Structure 1
């Protein structure tokens, strides 16, 4: 049965055909149409076809990039079980220092990297830094002492700093507000899958014969780094800067993909707008961005702590098992975590609600850390890992999707997402010092800290939701009362300060 046509007319000023310039950015020329308001009509079937094509061409590429970004960042935990500390002579807090070194450039380059991503174009920038951190992973297989491992981890942080905010910003160029959360989830889910797949991959690599001077834990870094470099080179050919330059869409489909976003965002410029001081300040000063940055900072203590220390935690739960068996025990919590990392954002898209799911996740984190803190029973502590992985990993989707939904222009969105993730990764730096060797196997300090974090996130997210609802009601009353003075600047310029702006819950 033929699907009924749902025609839409979108008039957004002269329709533009965008082409990549020599910097990977966008140069603009008017389309052949000469009318003052070019209009494109499309039906629901055409809309779905465009979205489906984008899904198949975009999501696998960015998901693979993020999968190996997370593997190359956290495989040091697997290498630790295989003897990295002993071979490099790391003692005391040396391992925690090595983890911390990574976060210094990772945090500082978050916003500048997203600005560079916009300037050079995602189709070139993201593959280039992927090759960069792949090379760093290979180099990890040849470190010989404490100072060399610190140097390589520092460089790894330089390249990986742009991946998470860069992909989130990149996908916001392609999908509407309701569609974005699930697509963000489909690459963020690579984080728990990286934990699962990383454990399986590490256990498989350790079974391989040594080659040359590369042995035991060194094989993990070298083999995984080579795979990463290959993915980086491939994505040079699979990514495109935005809908108007998509290699896999027909000219008509490019118009549909471009106009459907402009219609929702209320902007004619799309990805052509330039970053300036005013937009940077609007992005950083956005109340929702600031609140979520604080929430992400503290909750990332949990997210990154679980990512880095799950192998160590499993080792303390099952100390008598073999290294390969311990690696395999890290897999099930991550698999279940991956399920919830997709399920919760899927519900966000269906309901077009974000903050409420942030609020719902926090009590489950409280439960997980309360169990871990309250008992030494191996089965109960292992069960607690499932709660930690399942309800911490989706939070990055909640944050990036909510920031994206509450910005208007492309430039402001790139800075806003970068800001939230930059603050969040400050929590990652704290996480590297949460599980201390002297606290094993109980890890009372880490569990108590993460329990407090979960409670704080519940409070912040609840207060933010209440404030957004109240502020929207105030804006509605002012508009209904006609109490608005004439505003000369557009919504795209004023962002959240514009009287017509409403917070997206």
Structure 2
């Protein structure tokens, strides 16, 4: 494109929603001012319609994907180690196989999500996830179990970041946090539902030749495959091709997203390197990713080891009673995830609730370290759940809110989730069998992680406040002089009209 001055760009701008939704038209001027008026009542109706159609489907998908990931903890209580002949660190190695695959394949899977479209890839990956979980019912050796868990990690690689990326095409930045919470809440809910399901399934003597822990994988894998098939027919790739929206609603859905991305003329831009790098290599993405890394050490550790910790707290109870004990902390974690997500949506803040949440984790791990009293240790599991589970939605929402293109969001979310899964990989070695029942090294490690999360959240919050003040004082005004429209769109956070959202 030839270089053009500011007046040329203004001529390409429009002032009505239908035109603003078209490819190649901007919804903001060169300085980042919104050029269209959106009726709040119409927008609220559109948002409710999207909520009803999309959120239940992605939430149900993620619920069973997380169940399929974490049900190995329930299977462990039901005799998996004994039947497969596991000993020593074998269980930890089994958990590690999943995360090695997840970490290696997660970012490439997110780029495939961007290339092919999350509306198509999410159902495909979810079906594979359910299929591989089902295959765990048929393993009879340690090596076979490792292979299946590795395949499970490959399939899961694109689901979590893919859903976050998918939702970012339908929701404004300040709306996104609560909608992310509506499916990320399924992580703690999966612990509760998984515990209840496992308890119910274990009451069944056999399903054909399969008994005990094998039934857990068999039943839950079949359910996941069924939901994935249904989702193929429900999830649209983006508003522009959404058949259950009217033409007017599709235009509004596209225009309102474009209006938040300063200088953008495309809601879904072509995959290109500059936007990919811009989404990854910025302070907000990297700090959110680091915070999520530490948080996921806690969250995934809870998923994998809470049943084991409960067994050390209540060793005289039956397996089913121990399974049921895992449910209440997850329910409390789910409630706080939704609450912080909703408050984030209403107040348009993310950093505040991360700063509020981290001390609960610090308190929980201090309680684990400081006491062997069963009531104190069980209460500690609630404190950890209150603090930890809300970070998934808040970290991803914070990163997504501070980029300006579809490609940059895909790469920013991919980076945050990639770091998070490095944390998941680390979590598989935090609670070692020879440290039972106190698990002092793991609890001390997570206490340190929680403290670092609090410090980094405060730092990022203050950094963005400082940057916004500098932008308001005109520090970046010179950056758009003499640039083409394409170059302006690629400025991202350097655009003078861009403001950090914290």
Normalised to the residue count of structure 2, the TM-score between the two structures is 0.92
Deviation digits for residues 97-150 of structure 1 (CA, Å, limit 9, x no counterpart): 000000012112222111111211122110001110111011000000110000
Instruction: Report the RMSD for the aligned CA atoms in angstroms.
Output: 1.9
Range that drifts further, 295-304 or 148-157 = 295-304
**1:318 match:** 314
Q: Are 1:12 and 1:267, in contact at CA under 8 Å, matched by a contact in 2? A: no
Which residue pairs with 2:177 in the alignment?
A: 181
The question of 1:497 aligning with 2:491 is answered: no
CA positional deviation for 1:14: 4.2
Residue 341 (structure 1) aligned with residue 337 (structure 2)? yes
Q: Distance in 1 between matches of 2:480 and 2:141?
A: 66
**How many angstroms does 1:478 deviate by?**
2.9
How far off is 1:281 after superposition?
Answer: 1.2
8 Å contact from structure 2 (residues 17, 252) kept in 1:
no
Query: What residue number does 2:389 align with?
Result: 393
- Whether contact under 8 Å (2:479, 2:495) holds in the other structure is no
**Which has the larger displacement, 353-362 or 370-379?**
353-362
Aligned residues: 478
Name the residue aligned to 2:5: none
- Listed as ranges, the gaps of 5+ residues in structure 1 are 1-8, 18-27, 31-38
Name the CA distance, whole Å, in 1 between partners of 2:368 and 2:326.
16
Q: Contact 2:59–2:184 at 8 Å: present in 1 too?
A: yes
Query: Is 1:486 equivalent to 2:478 in the alignment?
Result: no
Pick one of 450, 472, 488 that aligns with 1:476: 472
Q: CA deviation digits over 1:457-494, x for unaligned, max 9?
A: 111111111111112222222359x7667251554211
Q: Aligned-pair distance for 1:307?
A: 1.4
List gaps (5 residues or longer) in structure 2: 1-13, 26-34
Partner of residue 226, structure 2? 230
Cα distance in 1 between the residues matched to 2:277 and 2:39: 39
Point out the more displaced range, 115-124 or 154-163: 115-124
Contact 2:269 2:405 in 1 (8 A): yes
Residues 281-327 of structure 1, C-alpha deviation per residue, up to 9 Å, x if partnerless? 11111111011111211221111111111111111110000000000
The answer to whether the 8 Å contact 2:120/2:232 transfers is: yes
Does residue 357 (structure 1) correspond to residue 353 (structure 2)? The answer is yes
1:243 shift after superposition: 1.2
Matched residues in 2 for 1:417 and 1:135: separation? Answer: 26
Q: Among residues 239, 244, 249, which one is paired with 1:248 in the alignment? A: 244
Q: Which runs of 4+ in 1 moved over 4 A?
A: 9-17, 39-42, 482-485
**CA–CA distance in 2 between the matches of 1:42 and 1:474?**
29
Q: Deviations over 1:350-394 (max 9, x none)?
A: 111111211111111100110111000001100110111111011
- For residues 210-225 of structure 1, the aligned pairs below 5 Å read 210-225=206-221
**Equivalent runs, 1:91-490 vs 2, <5 Å:** 91-266=87-262, 268-479=264-475, 486=481, 488-489=483-484, 490=487
Q: Distance in 2 between matches of 1:474 and 1:428?
A: 37
Greater relative contact order, per chain length (Cα 8 Å cut-off, separation 6+) = 2
State the secondary structure of the residue aligned to 2:236: coil
Bigger drift between 284-293 and 133-142 goes to 284-293
Structure 1 residues 355 and 235 mapped into 2: Cα distance closer, same or farther (>3 Å)? same
CA distance in 1, matches of 2:66, 2:488: 37
